[in-house]
Amino acid sequence: MALVTRWATHGRPTERNAHPHMTAQVSVVHNGIIENFRELRADLEAKGHTFETDTDTEAVVHLITHEMQNGLGPVEAARAALKQLRGAFALGIIFAGQDDLMIAARQGSPLALGHGTGEMYLGSDAIALAPFTDTITYLEEGDWAVMHRSGAEIFDRDGRRVDRPSVKSVASSLLVDKGNHRHFMAKEIHEQPEVIPNTLANYIDMVTARVNFPDLGIDLASINRVTISACGTAYYAGLVAKYWIERIARVPVEIDVASEMRYREAPLPKDGLAVFVSQSGETADTLATLRYCKANGQRIASIVNVRTSTIARESDAVLPTLAGPEIGVASTKAFTCQLSVLACLAVAIGRARGTISAEQEVEIVNGLIELPRHIAALLRNEQTFVAIAQDLSKARDVLYLGRGTSYPLALEGALKLKEISYIHAEGYAAGELKHGPIALIDENVPVIVVAPEDDLFEKTISNMQEVAARGGQIILISDALPEKISCKVAAHILMPKVSSFATPLLYAVPTQLIAYHTAVVMGTDVDQPRNLAKSVTVE
């Protein structure tokens, strides 16, 4: 059996914080976030356990050790510990003196078992296991497995023995694999509970719940403007950040699509900060705008998924998203990872400028840390979206509405739908409805409304009433309970309650699922939509 070394997601990326974490009896590697690790740690310390690291993982190690000290065998101890963990995570656990036993557990983060000849492997997906084997069993949500060299027994979250099929992976030849999914886009949507915490962990000190942002080589306290530029989905991530930064840090944010900004000779502030967002790091317009900003004395920070990309190489500071390779042309996990970095940037600027208190920062960070669990829960109810997609697939035009940070999400939702289903879709700020788009509304136009129950919710409800009065079919994405919705809706995707700041990361997921399932119903080429390329290296 093989365990692969993993760097810390909590605490600084030092050797001390690197996985595996261990006691004399137990050793663990872990992906994801144990949300209740602070409580567990305090409880275990009170019971005499000494922690060596800043990681959440160490709480798991001591918890299992504690159960063993109380007389349980390794498998039962691991099972007892798993029941006490909250969050989205994947775990690999081995025990001193048990060289033919490994426990695997999946809750929210993907995990795959690899079958060798007289040996078994454990990894987050087939790509990680490709050098060892092409025979893979994917664990399902809540599964845990008892692995021996000869094979594995798999149990569901209720402890029932279950059979999960083993499949032949093509990862070794193609280096990428769809796992149990029909399309890369589906796989990438489902990876979000794993890649968001991986990304957040790069910018957050999980122990203190404070942002730990890299030095951008510029005094964030004295900047008087932030310039953001990007294209497509990455631009919408930047637009969400405008709301965040202006609200939290009280700094004006200038944002424009790169194809416009590169030519309009925008005046730039002296010694300003310019932020570029790009999954590929190769988008021609974004790169050209970066060069324009650089030539005009801006400090350049880039949020990229490909660290070796041209945009990364030409930046003063690189802020990576840890989304892993994104193959589907429609950007999904890269978007929410970009939002993760931008959320931390907003907090970092706010802290530097003294516009946000330590308590507010901890509250925001805790809101972000909880997200993967809620996203995983949402993904377990994916069936809801199939019925909505059946109806949407009959539409010729679809409108998306939102206010505040939900406005960029409306734009992003519309982009996602149109690019993969080829249904005409437009996003609008809900308040703009009566300035034109309302003329389009009749009973044939579905209107998707992104409306968390925040301080703008009542205003959005008024817009929904205007839509309903004209026969528009409303699909509402909201955490508001049905009794709070004073107008007729055709469908209501009831969202979990999360912190108001964190809603864009969560509400992006239903817009992705709506687009994905509609495209599947339409039978389009989901991963390679017509006329589009993953990386737009020409203008």
Please name the amino acid found at residue 460.
Answer: T
Helix axes 192-201, 333-353, angle to 10 degrees: 30
If the CB atoms of residues 84 and 528 are measured against ligand M6R, the closer one turns out to be 528
Residue in 234, 290, 345, 388 binding ligand M6R, rule: CB under 6 A = 234
Please identify, among the stretches 1-9, 19-27, 326-334, 381-389, the one whose residues bind ligand M6R according to the rule CB under 6 A: 326-334
Chain positions 352 to 381 lying near ligand M6R, rule: CB under 6 A, are none
Residues 6 or more apart whose CB falls under 8 angstroms from that of 186 comprise: 178, 516, 526
Does 536 bind ligand M6R (CB under 6 A)? Our answer is: yes
Does 309 bind ligand M6R (CB under 6 A)? Our answer is: no
Reading the block at residue 18, the tokens are 């690197």
Sheet holding 253-257, edge to edge: 253-257, 226-230, 273-278, 299-304, 317-320
Residue in 286, 321, 406, 460 binding ligand M6R, rule: CB under 6 A = 286
Please identify, among the stretches 124-132, 314-322, 324-332, 429-437, the one whose residues bind ligand M6R according to the rule CB under 6 A: 324-332
Reading the block at residue 104, the tokens are 């695997």
Q: How far is the CB of 420 from ligand M6R (least distance, A)?
A: 8
CA of residue 211 relative to chain centroid, distance: 17
If the CB atoms of residues 188 and 361 are measured against ligand M6R, the closer one turns out to be 188
Q: Phi and psi dihedrals of 448, rounded to 5?
A: -95, 120
Please identify, among the stretches 28-36, 62-70, 279-287, 388-396, the one whose residues bind ligand M6R according to the rule CB under 6 A: 279-287
Please identify, among the stretches 216-224, 231-239, 364-372, 442-450, the one whose residues bind ligand M6R according to the rule CB under 6 A: 231-239
Does 233 bind ligand M6R (CB under 6 A)? Our answer is: yes
Closest CA to 347 of 219, 220, 436: 220
CA-based end-to-end distance of the chain? 49
Contacts with ligand M6R: how many residues (CB under 6 A)?
A: 16
Reading the block at residue 269, the tokens are 């502030």
Reading the block at residue 34, the tokens are 């144990």
Does 57 bind ligand M6R (CB under 6 A)? Our answer is: no
Q: Give the separation between CA 535 and CA 331, rounded to whole angstroms.
A: 11
Residue in 55, 65, 227, 280 binding ligand M6R, rule: CB under 6 A = 280
Q: Give the separation between CA 273 and CA 470, rounded to whole angstroms.
A: 46
If the CB atoms of residues 123 and 324 are measured against ligand M6R, the closer one turns out to be 324
Does 318 bind ligand M6R (CB under 6 A)? Our answer is: no
Question: Which residue is nearest to ligand M6R, using beta carbons?
Answer: 232
| CB 527, CB 327: distance < 8 Å | yes
Does 232 bind ligand M6R (CB under 6 A)? Our answer is: yes
Does 329 bind ligand M6R (CB under 6 A)? Our answer is: yes
Residue in 107, 229, 331, 518 binding ligand M6R, rule: CB under 6 A = 331
Closest CA to 240 of 251, 225, 255, 219: 255
| CB 193, CB 187: distance < 8 Å | no
Beta strand 210-211 with 204-205: parallel, antiparallel or unpaired? antiparallel
Does 330 bind ligand M6R (CB under 6 A)? Our answer is: yes
Does 238 bind ligand M6R (CB under 6 A)? Our answer is: no
Chain positions 395 to 434 lying near ligand M6R, rule: CB under 6 A, are 415, 419
Reading the block at residue 259, the tokens are 């194809």
Q: Phi and psi dihedrals of 194, rounded to 5?
A: -95, -45
Q: How far is the CB of 311 from ligand M6R (least distance, A)?
A: 8
Please identify, among the stretches 50-58, 75-83, 277-285, 486-494, the one whose residues bind ligand M6R according to the rule CB under 6 A: 277-285
Residue ranges that bind ligand M6R, judged by CB under 6 A: 231-234, 278-280, 283, 286, 329-331, 415, 419, 535-536
